[in-house]
Amino acid sequence: MPELAEAEFYRKRWHQAAVGQRVTGALVHDRAKVFRGTDAAALRDALAGARMINSEAAAKQMLFRFSGGLWLGIHLGMSGELRVGPSDHVPHRHDHLVLQTRRGALIFTDPRMFGRVQFHQGAEPPTWWTRIAPSMLSPAFTPDAVAAFLQRRARAPIKAVMLMQERFPGIGNWMADEILWRATIHPRRPAGTLRPAEVRALWRECRRVCRLALATIAGRGNDLPPDLNVGIPNTWLFNHRWEAGGRCPKTGKPLARAEIGGRTTCWSPARQKYNQAKS
DNA sequence: GTGCTTGTTGGCCA
DNA sequence: GTGGCCAACAAGCA
């Protein structure tokens, strides 16, 4: 389960393990790049003794609130993961942050260190959290807002535009391809060339993919599987995009792959035509 | 060894 | 100033 839902998956994992629990100690790899711009030692000292109050996920990020006005933000980057281990967990090489509680240890691990840990003290949530664009499931995400954004990025391929977090918070490479495939829009189409009906289809599929992705997570209740990709139907492009000789689940025809907007992109040529249909 | 990989950022250029 | 492109970041995997 990609991106947006990934943050929700890992948020839930830590939340279930430790909400209401007191942090008895914190370990940090304070020279790790994931702490860029953050005082890791101050974070470690402040969190020791604090209690986890609640948490939320937005876009690809998570925010954990602790007693004493402490806010811990985590972005998973490309390879970050949140785990739960035994209370006496000994950090491995890539475990950059470990919060110990009586029930277990909360572990942030990230080999490539494109992820990020942020920290804030205060009564209000930090601006790096509140500045995240409104969810695609919120009323602020309207077809008009999408249309206006596409016009501003008119010459860029739609695939590249879909990755812009300021308008599509939480969409990553997999979700972008999934949405374009459902909306039957070729990923290389310049954003400004989409007709109104196509913009509306794009908007609708953004919301649908978000809802379905999150529902797959929420439907798991309190029993999270170790692999967050469990349970994605084979009717999604997602489960076919990397198969050798992969075929479109709708048309049965071969899928295509190419680099678009700097990212490997998968689409179904039989379904997503570059040349606009006659109107 | 080579060539990929779920993301973001800053620098360059038009 | 704005928009678009691309390399860089770092490590693991096939």
Question: What is the tens place of the pLDDT at every residue in A230-275?
Answer: 678 888 998 888 887 889 999 999 999 999 999 999 999 999 999 7
How far is it, in rounded angstroms, from Cα A149 to Cα A131? 18
Find which nucleotide's C1' atom is closest to A2's CA. B6
Residue A279 — very low, low, confident or very high, per pLDDT cuts 50/70/90? Answer: very low
Nucleotides of C under 7 A from a protein CB: 2-7, 9-12
User: Is position A190 annotated as part of the catalytic site?
Assistant: no
Residue A278 — very low, low, confident or very high, per pLDDT cuts 50/70/90? Answer: very low
Q: Which of A74, A59, A68, A70 is nearest to A13 (CA)?
A: A74
Question: pLDDT of A36-91, one tens digit each?
Answer: 989 999 999 999 999 999 999 999 999 999 999 999 999 999 999 999 999 999 99
Find the DSSP H helices in chain A. Answer: 3-18, 40-47, 127-130, 143-152, 158-162, 173-182, 196-218
User: Is position A81 annotated as part of the catalytic site?
Assistant: no
Find which nucleotide's C1' atom is closest to A176's CA. B6
Q: What is the mean pLDDT of residues A82-104?
A: 95
User: Is position A2 annotated as part of the catalytic site?
Assistant: yes
Task: Identify the residue with better confidence: A115 or A215.
Answer: A115
Helix axes A173-182 and A196-218, enclosed angle (nearest 10): 120
Q: What is the mean pLDDT of residues A131-160?
A: 96
Q: What is the mean pLDDT of residues A185-208?
A: 96
pLDDT value at position A226?
Answer: 57
Q: What's the token pair of residue A107?
A: 């572990």
Q: Cβ of A69: how many Cβ atoms within 10 Å? A: 13
How far is it, in rounded angstroms, from Cα A173 to Cα A241? 11
Nucleotides of B under 7 A from a protein CB: 4-8
Paired residues of A184 in beta bridges: none
Q: Cβ of A211: how many Cβ atoms within 10 Å? A: 13
User: Is position A60 annotated as part of the catalytic site?
Assistant: yes
